[in-house]
Amino acid sequence: MAVLSRDVGGGGKRTRQGRRDADGGARAAREEREGAARDPLLVLGPDVMTKILEFADARSVARCTVVSRGWHEIAASDRLWAPKTRIMKEDLCDHVWEFRYKKAAPEYWRNLDPSWKGTSPPMHRYFHPNGSHTADRDDKVWGGHECTYSIMTSYVGEGQIRDHYVRINRWPPMTVSRKEDWRWEMSNHLYCYISVPDAEKEGGTGPLFPAW
């Protein structure tokens, strides 16, 4: 009888545990349904969410890529990112830029670049709202010459960007891209511009921090 009593008692415990498991499963399913009902992607649909994200800044869109697999599929699409890698005049003027020569540049120019020799930090460049482009006073590469910049963008159908670049005077165009830490990079085969934190530039905000 004692053995039977223990068996019956164990069965009761298993029954109660089964009820708790069933209740927990039902609660989890209910929470999942309620969460899905609050998910804008499921409520509005991918087409509407894509339209909404077109108005968001690059940092906000990057954050959306880690919400879920469905959000990642939309937020990581070329349709959203192509316009957000288009640099504007305000972006150029809002940053201080590091300037470096590349290996393909003539040796004479590289010897004037302190970052190549490791004697001092990279040279700085500055873009201004009036279209001018300047450097620090002690910059040996600059030479005090007059310099202007232009931003060129061409499109194909449905607003898709075909070509986008920044040009200094008549020098080769620089392609524009974003680095992983959200700094801007502009470069051609001769030299490279990279945006830097702008604590020393009055009114500048500097590059955004990574979204993840």
Is there a contact between 187 and 176 (Cβ–Cβ < 8 Å)?
Answer: no
Place of tokens 């003539």: 106
Cβ atoms < 10 Å from Cβ of 137: 7
Which segment of 41-50, 98-107, 117-126, 196-205 scores lowest on mean pLDDT? 196-205
Q: At residue 13, what is the residue type? A: K
* Whole-angstrom distance, CA of residue 183 vs CA of residue 193: 10
Give percent of the chain with pLDDT exceeding 70: 70
What local confidence, expressed as pLDDT, does residue 88 receive? 87
Q: Looking at residues 113-129, what average pLDDT do you find?
A: 88
Task: Give the tokens for residue 154.
Answer: 């061409």
What local confidence, expressed as pLDDT, does residue 56 receive? 81
Q: Is the pLDDT of residue 29 over 70?
A: no
What local confidence, expressed as pLDDT, does residue 176 receive? 92
Write the pLDDT tens digit of every residue in 152-204: 988 776 666 678 899 999 999 999 988 877 789 999 999 999 998 655 566 55
* Whole-angstrom distance, CA of residue 154 vs CA of residue 139: 34
Q: Is pLDDT larger for residue 39 or for residue 27? A: 39
Write the pLDDT tens digit of every residue in 138-155: 888 887 678 999 999 887
Phi, psi values for residue 139, rounded to 5°: -75, 115
- What burial class does residue 56 get, using C-beta atoms within 10 Å of its C-beta: 0-12 exposed, 13-18 middle, 19+ buried? middle
Is there a contact between 52 and 45 (Cβ–Cβ < 8 Å)?
Answer: no
Q: Is the pLDDT of residue 112 over 80?
A: yes
Write the pLDDT tens digit of every residue in 46-79: 889 888 888 887 778 878 888 888 888 888 887 7
Q: What confidence category does residue 7 fall into, taking pLDDT thresholds of 50, 70 and 90?
A: very low
49-58 long-range contacts (CB < 8 A, ≥24 apart) are 49/74, 50/74, 50/77, 50/79, 50/80, 53/80, 54/80, 54/83, 57/84, 58/84, 58/85, 58/178, 58/182, 58/208
